[in-house]
Structure 1
Amino acid sequence: MKPRICYTVWFSQRNRSTLLCEGLTATGIAGKPAELLELPPATSLLDFYQVNDYAALQAKLWQQRMTENGVFGMKANAPRKESDPIIGQLAKLSGLKVAAPTPYAVWENAFPNGKHIFLTRRNKIRQAVSWWKAIVTGQWHLEKGGERKVDSQVISQHYNFEAIKHLLLEISLRESKIQAFLEEGNIVPLTVVYEDFVKQYQQSIRSVIDFLGITDTQYPIKEPHYERLADELSDQWVERFRIQLQKDWKNVIW
Structure 2
Amino acid sequence: MSFSAYIICATPRSGSTLLCDLLTASGIAGRPNSYFRSQDISYWAGLWGVDDPTTDFDPTFNLAYLAAMKRAGLAGTGIFGLRLMWQAVSDTEKRLNAAFGKTADVATLLELAFGPTLFIHLSRRDKDAQAVSLVRAEQTGLWHVATDGSERERTTPPHAPFFNAVQINRSRDRLITDDENWSSFFDQRGFEPLRIFYEDLADKPQATLAGVLSSLGRDANISSTINPSTAKMADHTSFLWKQRIS
Contact 1:26 1:221 in 2 (8 A): no
Is 1:197 paired with 2:201? yes
Give the superposition deviation at 1:4: 6.0
Aligned twin of 1:73: 81
Task: Supply the distance in 1 between the matched residues of 2:35 and 2:131 (Cα, whole angstroms).
Answer: 24
Task: Supply the distance in 1 between the matched residues of 2:193 and 2:245 (Cα, whole angstroms).
Answer: 32
Is 1:123 paired with 2:126? yes
- Residue 208 of structure 1: SS of its match in structure 2? helix
Task: Supply the distance in 1 between the matched residues of 2:232 and 2:138 (Cα, whole angstroms).
Answer: 16
Is 1:141 paired with 2:138? no
1:106 paired residue among 86, 106, 109: 109
Task: Supply the distance in 1 between the matched residues of 2:124 and 2:245 (Cα, whole angstroms).
Answer: 18
* Structure with the higher fraction of residues in helix conformation: 2
Aligned twin of 2:13: 14
Task: Supply the distance in 2 between the matched residues of 1:55 and 1:232 (Cα, whole angstroms).
Answer: 47
Is 1:85 paired with 2:88? no
Aligned twin of 1:23: 22
Give the superposition deviation at 1:103: 2.3
- Residue 40 of structure 1: SS of its match in structure 2? helix
Give the superposition deviation at 1:15: 1.4
Is 1:169 paired with 2:173? yes
**2:201 maps to amino acid:** F
Aligned twin of 2:36: 37
- Size of the aligned set, in residue pairs, is 230
Give the superposition deviation at 1:142: 1.4
Is 138-147 or 224-233 further displaced after alignment?
A: 138-147
Q: 1:223 to 1:188 in 2, by over 3 A?
A: same
Task: Supply the distance in 2 between the matched residues of 1:219 and 1:234 (Cα, whole angstroms).
Answer: 30
Aligned twin of 1:252: none
Task: Supply the distance in 2 between the matched residues of 1:119 and 1:182 (Cα, whole angstroms).
Answer: 13
Task: Provide, for residues 91-121 of structure 1, a one-character-per-residue CA deviation record: whole Å limited to 9, x for no partner.
Answer: 1334x8xx64222212221222111111111
**1:239 maps to amino acid:** Q
Task: Supply the distance in 2 between the matched residues of 1:119 and 1:85 (Cα, whole angstroms).
Answer: 20
**1:202 maps to amino acid:** Q
TM value normalised by structure 1: 0.80
**2:83 maps to amino acid:** K
Contact 2:139 2:160 in 1 (8 A): yes
Structure number with greater Rg is 1
Contact 2:3 2:79 in 1 (8 A): yes
**Cα RMSD over matched residues?**
2.9
How many percent of aligned residue pairs carry the same amino acid?
25
- Residue 101 of structure 1: SS of its match in structure 2? coil
TM value normalised by structure 2: 0.82
Return 5+ residue gaps in structure 2 as ranges: 52-59
- Residue 8 of structure 1: SS of its match in structure 2? strand
Give the superposition deviation at 1:186: 1.6
Aligned twin of 2:236: 232
Give the superposition deviation at 1:140: 0.8
Task: Provide, for residues 118-175 of structure 1, a one-character-per-residue CA deviation record: whole Å limited to 9, x for no partner.
Answer: 11111100100111111111111111222589xxxx846x100110011001101111
2:65 paired residue among 57, 71, 75: 57
Give the superposition deviation at 1:7: 0.5
Task: Supply the distance in 1 between the matched residues of 2:40 and 2:123 (Cα, whole angstroms).
Answer: 27
- Residue 115 of structure 1: SS of its match in structure 2? strand
Aligned twin of 1:249: none
Return 5+ residue gaps in structure 1 as ranges: 243-254
Task: Supply the distance in 1 between the matched residues of 2:150 and 2:98 (Cα, whole angstroms).
Answer: 45
Give the superposition deviation at 1:219: 6.3
* Structure with the higher fraction of residues in strand conformation: 2
Aligned twin of 2:57: none
Task: Supply the distance in 1 between the matched residues of 2:150 and 2:61 (Cα, whole angstroms).
Answer: 44
